[in-house]
Chain A
Amino acid sequence: MDYEFHWNVVFQNWPELLNGAIVTLHVSVLAMLLGIAIAILLAIAKMNNSKPFCYVATAWVEVARNTPALFQIYMAYFGLGAFGIHLSPYVAVLSALVFINAGYLTETFRGGFQSIPSTQYSASKSLGMTSIQAYWHIILPQMLRRIYHPMTNQFVWSILMSSLGILVGMSELSGTTQRLQSLSFRTLEFFIVAAIMYFVITKLVLFGASLLSRRLFRGEI
């Protein structure tokens, strides 16, 4: 192998890579928060008896779960153009990630909710709690414990999938890497560094999540 590594150019562009990493985190956090908000609504709609809401929620969940993430991003970036909606790469990737996160989290939330026996609700009512108290003190804490791990996984998944921004010219970590390597032709160096950065980000997120879970659930997970 007669490839010479030149790491200097990577270090010179380090601030830009770091910036890219921040955009990656930024878009995944936002996608997660919006995804959670929509997923709560969809989960309620799915468990509701009113047919139209239930159908919309089911359709959303199934499309999000059964088509590739790259397809969603192309749809947001190229497909919506047919309706005269031209999204910037950032918004296109964000909306695709929100769409998918919401789809997956709906099932997580629904499963978590249904895993709490309804007798617990009746029991808390019989102890004189109001509905809100029963949900807030009894149902939700237990539910959060069960959905915490899947939610962490979903967040990590969002971070990794935001790398698809490279294909629509978004300037997150992999997009920045792509641009920098096309300027300097040090493809291997830049992508190795990007891979390490993704690894570190993922590990830090998982570490933070496990610290938080210890604080939240005090070891009774």
Chain B
Amino acid sequence: MNSLFTPLSWSDAGFIMTGVWNTIVISVVAIAAGTLLGLVIGFFRSESNKAVNVLFGSVLDVLRSVPLIIQLILFSTFVGAAGYPMDPFLAGSIVLSLYTMAFMSEVFRGGFDSVSPSMQVAARSLGMTRWQTIYHIRFPIGLRAVFPSWLGVALSVIKDSALVSVIGYMELLRTSEQLISRTQQPLEILIGVGIFYFIISYPLSYYGRYVERKMAI
């Protein structure tokens, strides 16, 4: 029986590092794309009238109320069935970015809404144009207020990126799963994976709480 399984060795380090790298890449892509899209949509939603808002909101609501794993499976099967099979990285980044966007747009909208209208009126009365008001008043004040929430969403995206493994992307958890099925040493490998996520996530969440505390005063 022993000959079937080979224990964990240093030569597996390269394989694990591929997983680490892929996790980082897809997280960065999703956070960057999701932030940009979310910023645009959040701004648009905070500016636009109620009808547009409700319409947009319900579309984004779907992205937030359906489990990510179902979205991933649906999307990759759908593009496959439509005749344009995508590689897991592309499909995963698209779904994860849209998912991030749904949360980010809400964060940014809250930030923009938190800038009091009287401040904008004041800026206008000082002779600023509409775009100057947006650029110098709403963006800096609104965005600064939401930084901790932004960080919170970004952190959850790093953790949710583990789910992209389900459509075959070789991120950290999937490489570890494959190593587990070869070595049959689940505990050692999983603890290593856990430590990696913790090392990335903990300092950021600590920093987020620090900023939040500092802003509260």
Which residues of chain B are near A203, meaning CB under 8 Å? 65
Q: Hey, which chain A residues are within 8 Å of B202, CB to CB?
A: 62, 66
Quick check: B201 and A66 within 8 Å, CB to CB? yes
Q: Interface residues of B, CB < 8 Å — how many?
A: 38
Cβ of B203 to closest chain A Cβ, rounded Å: 9
Chain A residues positioned under 8 Å from B185 (CB to CB): 82
Given contacts A67-B159, A71-B193, A71-B197, contact A202 B74 (CB under 8 A): no
Give the interface size bracket for A toward B: 35 or more
Q: Is the interface of A mostly helix, strand, loop or mixed?
A: helix
Please tell me if B186 contacts chain A, counting CB pairs below 8 Å.
yes
Contact assessment for B190 and A192 in the assembled complex, using a CB-CB cutoff below 8 Å: no
Quick check: B70 and A65 within 8 Å, CB to CB?
no
Query: For B73, B74, B163, B202, which residue has the most chain A Cβ atoms within 10 angstroms?
Result: B73
Contact between B67 and A161, CB atoms less than 8 A apart: yes
In the complex, whether B29 has a CB less than 8 A from a CB of chain A is no
Contact B73 A74 (CB under 8 A): no
- Which residues A66-118 have CB closer than 8 A to chain B? 66-71, 74-75, 78-79, 81-83
Residues of chain A contacted by B155 (CB below 8 angstroms): 66
Contacts of B197 in A (CB 8 A): 66-68, 71
Report the bound CA distance from A1 to B197 in whole Å. 40
Residues of B within 8 A of A164 (CB): 67, 69, 163
**How many inter-chain residue pairs (CB < 8 Å) link A and B?**
107
Q: A11-19, A30-38, A193-201: which lies at the B interface? A: A193-201
The 9 closest A-B pairs by CB, nearest first: A163-B67, A82-B187, A66-B201, A78-B186, A68-B159, A68-B162, A3-B81, A202-B65, A1-B82
- Tell me, yes or no, whether A191 is within 8 Å of chain B by CB: yes
Chain B residues, CB < 8 A from A160: 65-68
Give the distance to chain B from A208, nearest Cβ to Cβ, in Å.
Answer: 14
| Chain B residues closer than 8 Å to A83, beta-carbon distance | 187
Besides A74-B173, A161-B67, A174-B70, 6 other A-B contacts (C-beta < 8 A): A63-B194, A69-B162, A78-B180, A82-B185, A191-B74, A198-B65
Residue-wise, chain B 141-166 has the 8 Å CB interface mask toward A (1 for contact) of 00000000000000100011111011
Question: Looking at chain B's contact residues, is the secondary structure mostly helix, strand, loop, or mixed?
Answer: helix
Known A-B contacts A69-B159, A70-B173; the reply to A195 vs B190 at CB < 8 A is no
Chain B residue with Cβ nearest A161: B67
Question: B186 to chain A: closest CB distance in Å?
Answer: 4
Q: A70-B163, A75-B194, A79-B187 are in contact. Are A166 and B69 (CB under 8 A)?
A: yes
List chain A residues, Cβ under 8 A from B159. Answer: 66-69
Scan A150-164; emit 1 where CB is below 8 A from any B CB, else 0.
000000100011011
**Chain B residues with Cβ under 8 A from A199's Cβ?**
62, 65-66
The winner among B65, B165, B180, B186 for most chain A CB atoms within 10 A is: B65
Distance between A212 CB and nearest chain B CB, rounded to angstroms: 19
Which of B81, B166, B173, B177 is within 8 Å of A68, CB to CB? Answer: B173
Instruction: Tell me the residues in window 40-95 of chain B with beta carbons closer than 8 Å to chain A beta carbons.
Output: 62, 65-71, 73-74, 77-78, 81-83
Asked whether B190 lies within 8 Å of A188 as measured between CB atoms, the reply is no
Interchain nearest-CB distance for B168 vs A (Å): 13
- Judge whether A195 and B70 touch: CB under 8 Å: yes
Closest CB in chain B relative to A190 CB, distance in Å: 10
List A194-221 residues whose CB lies under 8 Å from chain B.
Answer: 194-195, 198-199, 202-203
Question: Taking CB as reference atom, which chain B residue is nearest A62?
Answer: B202
Compute how far the CA of A79 lies from the CA of B74 in the bound complex, rounded to whole angstroms: 29
